[in-house]
Chains A and B, each alone.
Chain A
């Protein structure tokens, strides 16, 4: 199965618009709204942020780290570049964890270590 851009869960999105901005950079080499293929829809009360993706995964910019820039820059792990099977597994993993833990704890568990008190980084 071919890889493309998927949204793991809308509730993970924190509305930072990094993906929207970097997509516009990829398309036009400028930063601006409505220039890329991703748009973040926000609620004024902050209840939800929804990424709208209109992309088939063929990113014109070379993927230096194996993923497109929008996925690389997403701080929460809302966007993933994967095939349908991996996306299904990721969604199921999130769904199972979501039952026992608040969302805040689940934000990007594969991107950064939680809980931070158990973090074991290099010293220096």
Chain B
């Protein structure tokens, strides 16, 4: 087997509650590299271009790449399916879920058919089960994550799930993994298949062909992006501000989504710096992200007092910035 890969794919039939572990063809690994490439070929071969998003033949595919589970991979996961609008929906999130799937021993998960009642997929190394999720239906992302953690009694289990938007087939619903989100409507198809969540826990590891050379290359990448030495002015600015860096520009160009996307710009919109001063309480990092403040934790209760003692974490998500940017100086 090739280094970096686990060489296994999980195929889950939600109608029959049948789980099959298949080996991933080596030709695919070499030809399509991984993640989006392999997801695409599975979607094309099995669903085809004419499948409708809500057909039971439509597939929902989660894929990782050969570098996932190692620091260079940054934990990126690609989710692919056919969207109700007719295009291939490709959402990607970072965080710990992708590496955990690799540590559990799988590169891809292919979801087939639809369940007749809400379910969630539980993966703990070799133990894979489709479990009832009726009690989780209607819960938001944080509540679902907490409930699954306490139910499975594994505190560091990683959960990718949908909230009420996905359950109600909102066209652009996201799939969330703690504070990371995969957009472009992948959550809609997850809701249609009545799959509330995929919880993964793994104890394995990712092996490297040449660990010492890997370290050398990783150091080289860090050196290029080193905040003290970089010649690129953008790098330190992005590492601190992330997508908030673009708030001022968005407002000027009319790209904000204020008042439920009825207005493109606001007179009193906060700038990125004011934002960080007022609302950001904690830096949050993606899996092995080399930027210290790429992600941020907002304290929502400080904004309008709607939710007490609960925070929202947003990584370098531009769509999140559109929305969070709509808070004005004088709410």
Are B227 and A31 closer than 8 Å at their CB atoms? no
> Looking at chain A, what size class is its interface with the partner chain?
35 or more
Taking CB atoms, residues of chain B closer than 8 Å to A75 are 285, 289-292
B90 on the interface (CB 8 Å rule)? no
Contact B280 A44 (CB under 8 A): no
Q: Which of the 9-residue segments B80-88, B106-114, B186-194, B234-242 touches chain A?
A: B234-242
- B311 near A30 with CB under 8 A, answer no
Q: Report 26 cross-chain contacts, Cβ distance below 8 Å, ordered by A residue.
A: A11-B282, A14-B289, A14-B293, A15-B284, A17-B287, A17-B288, A32-B203, A33-B156, A34-B203, A41-B155, A44-B178, A46-B313, A47-B282, A69-B215, A73-B222, A103-B283, A104-B280, A104-B281, A104-B282, A107-B293, A111-B227, A112-B239, A115-B240, A116-B241, A122-B231, A123-B231
Which single residue of chain B is at the shortest CB-CB distance from A124?
A: B231
Closest 3 interchain pairs by CB?
A: A32-B205, A16-B285, A14-B285
Cα-based distance from A107 to B208 in the complex (angstroms): 32
> Are B285 and A15 neighbours in the complex by a CB distance under 8 Å?
yes
What are the interface flags for A68-99 relative to B under an 8 Å C-beta threshold, 1 for contact and 0 otherwise? Answer: 01000101110000000000000000000000
Pairwise interchain contact A31-B70, C-beta atoms closer than 8 A:
yes
Do residues B70 and A112 form an inter-chain contact, with CB atoms below 8 A?
no
A14 touches B178 (CB 8 A): no
Q: Give, as a whole number of angstroms, the nearest-CB distance from B141 to chain A.
A: 9
Kindly list chain B residues whose C-beta atoms are within 8 Å of the C-beta of A77: 292
Q: Does A4 contact B (CB under 8 A)?
A: no
- How close is A32's CB to chain B, nearest CB, in angstroms? 3
A45 touches B211 (CB 8 A): no
Check A21 against B70 for contact (C-beta < 8 Å): yes
With the chains together, A31 CA to B290 CA distance in Å? 17
* Known A31-B208, A111-B292; 18 more pairs at CB < 8 Å: A14-B295, A24-B205, A29-B208, A29-B211, A33-B202, A42-B156, A73-B71, A73-B222, A75-B285, A75-B289, A76-B292, A103-B282, A104-B280, A104-B296, A108-B292, A111-B227, A121-B229, A122-B229
Least distance between B213 CB and chain A CB atoms (Å): 12
Q: Which residue of A has the minimal Cβ distance to B245?
A: A116
With A46-B313, A76-B292, A123-B231 already in contact, the answer to whether A103 and B281 are too (CB < 8 A) is yes
> B295 contacts which chain A residues (CB < 8 A)?
14
Q: Which residue from B215, B228, B296 sits with its C-beta under 8 Å from A112?
A: B228
The verdict on B179 contacting chain A, using a C-beta distance below 8 Å, is: yes
Give the chain A neighbours of B287 by CB distance below 8 A: 16-17
B287, closest chain A residue (CB) = A17
Question: Which of B215, B231, B310: most chain A CB closer than 10 A?
Answer: B215
Chain A residues with Cβ under 8 A from B317's Cβ? none
Contact with A along B79-119 (1 / 0, CB 8 A): 00000000000000000100010010000000000000000
B residues near A15, Cβ cutoff 8 Å: 284-285
- Listed in ascending order, the chain A residues whose CB lies under 8 Å from chain B are 11, 14-18, 21-22, 24-25, 28-35, 41-42, 44-47, 69, 73, 75-77, 102-105, 107-108, 111-116, 119, 121-124
**Residues of B that sit less than 8 Å from A by CB:** 69-71, 96, 100, 103, 142, 145-146, 149, 155-156, 159, 178-179, 202-208, 211, 215, 222, 227-231, 233, 236-237, 239-241, 276-277, 280-293, 295-297, 310-311, 313
With contact pairs A35-B205, A113-B227 given, residues A47 and B311 touching in the complex (Cβ less than 8 Å): yes
B283 touches A45 (CB 8 A): no
Residues of A near B149 (CB, < 8 A) are 44
User: Which residue from chain A places its CB closest to the CB of B299 in the assembled complex?
Assistant: A47
Chain A neighbourhood of B207, CB < 8 A: 30
Q: Do the beta carbons of B311 and A46 come within 8 Å of each other?
A: yes
Which B residues touch A121, using CB under 8 A? Answer: 228-231, 233, 236
Contact B146 A44 (CB under 8 A): yes
B227 contacts A112, C-beta separation under 8 Å: yes
Determine if B211 and A25 form an interchain contact, defined as CB atoms under 8 angstroms apart.
yes
In the complex, chain A residues whose CB is within 8 Å of the CB of B280:
102, 104
Q: Please tell me if the beta carbons of A116 and B236 are within 8 angstroms of each other in the complex.
A: yes
Across-interface contacts of A22 in B (CB, < 8 A) = 71
CB < 8 Å neighbour of A31 from B159, B205, B296, B297: B205
* Bound-state Cα–Cα, A31 to B289, Å: 15
